Amino acid sequence: MSDTIIVEVVLKNKKSQLESTVQECVLKYFKSNPISPGCIIKTFPNDIILRDLVECIIIDDVPESQENFIDFSFFKIHWYIYTVNYSKPMVQNEYSSDGEINIATHLVLPNADLTNSWENLYFDNDIKDNLLKYAHTMMKFSDNGIDGNVVTCNKVILLHGPPGTGKTSLCKALSHKLAVRMQERYHSGLFIEVNSHSLFSRYFSESGKLVTQMFSSIRDVIENGNILVCVLIDEVESLAHAREQCLSGVEPSDSIRVVNAVLTQIDQIKRYPNVLILATSNLTKSIDLAFIDRADIKQYLGLPKVPAIYKIYVSCLQELQRVNILDNNVKFEPLSTILKINLDNLNEISRKLLEICEKSSGLSGRALRKVPFISHALFCNADNNSVWDFLIAMDKAVEKEKGDR
């Protein structure tokens, strides 16, 4: 059993000299309030200092033995106290005779837009934990200058699986998490999402030049070794597809040069110790791209099963409770309790929710997160905040979602 628990405290302002005061107040808060595992605390009704200084507290998942409320006296706490950046994504446009083209989007890390993103992704196994460990090891090996000919470490992670299963979100969340967890090594981070679609959506003769421009601006950032740079190539199959079309003579040979330029540039930038390359693909068959062949990690993300569905639905229902759309006196049982108790002994809310989760098998995470919206829009009386009635509406919304597919 792990004896360390990770507590992240997101500060409102940079006041590092107050870190010990914050730690003391957080510990006092933990003693007087029951804290459940994997939770995010955003309000501090009885604590003026925390209310003044802290945006939120994030408690990492903890061992099963602490399923309901955490007894902090059992654990050594590993603190991450930090501020987030509030800047919005910046679009990198380049100009060609075809007009202005959005070729990449930059986001400074850690970013307020991604604060809860990691905690709000639920999978049926240890994918998140393992990815974080892999990424940590890659960055450490690279930082220490390990010889890649002796110990293979390509710094490329590929997530693949059906659409809507959280691949892009997980890449962003992982980058944010790394920027937080590696803050002693990197004083900030940058997430760069390459818009591969825009590079190949049409024929333009200057695209080779655009690719070079894009990567030279990426390189300007990477040269500063104190910045962690995560580059995402979303739907990487569009590169492979463009190349296949060139080879079969369907597309002009110009775009093969673009694809090759992108691949060469990626190969070059990943040699920098502070760079991590992330790629996603909706294809399950192999992709003919050398840098993907050499990915250190190829992780499949499948459709969520009942336990992950339950967690996704509970997070949605709790959000509706937080904003008073649903009665917030109803408490949802944690998954670990649900799995242990005999069905007959569950209360009717939990039983109904479990039944809806089973019915929802086959839907992607994206479709599941839409179910509460459809339920409210189509199957609810707007003035009714009853959780039970909402579950009945969700049941109908799931049927509709499945029927529409």
Helices 167-181/127-143 angle, 10° precision: 50
Residue choice 142, 196, 280, 321 for contact with ligand ADP (CB under 6 A): 280
Count of positions on this chain that bind ligand ADP (CB under 6 A)? 18
Q: Within 10 A of 15 (CB to CB), how many other CB atoms are there?
A: 14
Helices (H), 248-362: 254-269, 290-293, 306-322, 335-340, 348-359
State phi, psi for 91 to the nearest 5 degrees: -85, 130
In the bound state with ligand ADP, the residue whose beta carbon lies nearer, of 105 and 183, is 105
Residue choice 29, 44, 72, 122 for contact with ligand ADP (CB under 6 A): 122
The reply on whether position 372 binds ligand ADP by CB under 6 A is no
CB of 234 to ligand ADP, least distance (A): 7
CB of 364 to ligand ADP, least distance (A): 6
The reply on whether position 123 binds ligand ADP by CB under 6 A is yes
Give yes or no for a contact between 167 and 108, defined as CB atoms under 8 angstroms apart. Answer: no
Q: Within 10 A of 20 (CB to CB), how many other CB atoms are there?
A: 9
| Separation between Cα atoms, residue 74 and residue 244, nearest integer Å | 57
In the bound state with ligand ADP, the residue whose beta carbon lies nearer, of 59 and 279, is 279
The reply on whether position 313 binds ligand ADP by CB under 6 A is no
In the bound state with ligand ADP, the residue whose beta carbon lies nearer, of 222 and 292, is 292
Give yes or no for a contact between 40 and 58, defined as CB atoms under 8 angstroms apart. Answer: yes
- Contact code string over 342-371 relative to ligand ADP, x by CB under 6 A: -----------------------xx--x--
Give yes or no for a contact between 60 and 7, defined as CB atoms under 8 angstroms apart. Answer: yes
Six-digit token string for 308 = 């992950």
CB of 123 to ligand ADP, least distance (A): 5
In the bound state with ligand ADP, the residue whose beta carbon lies nearer, of 70 and 312, is 312
| Separation between Cα atoms, residue 270 and residue 296, nearest integer Å | 12
H/E run at residue 78: strand 76-83
The reply on whether position 121 binds ligand ADP by CB under 6 A is yes
- Subset of residues 160 to 179 that bind ligand ADP, contact rule: CB under 6 A: 163-169
The reply on whether position 89 binds ligand ADP by CB under 6 A is no
- Which residues touch 343 (CB under 8 Å, ≥6 apart)? 351, 354
In the bound state with ligand ADP, the residue whose beta carbon lies nearer, of 142 and 165, is 165
Sites of contact with ligand ADP (CB under 6 A): 120-123, 163-169, 280, 304, 308, 312, 365-366, 369
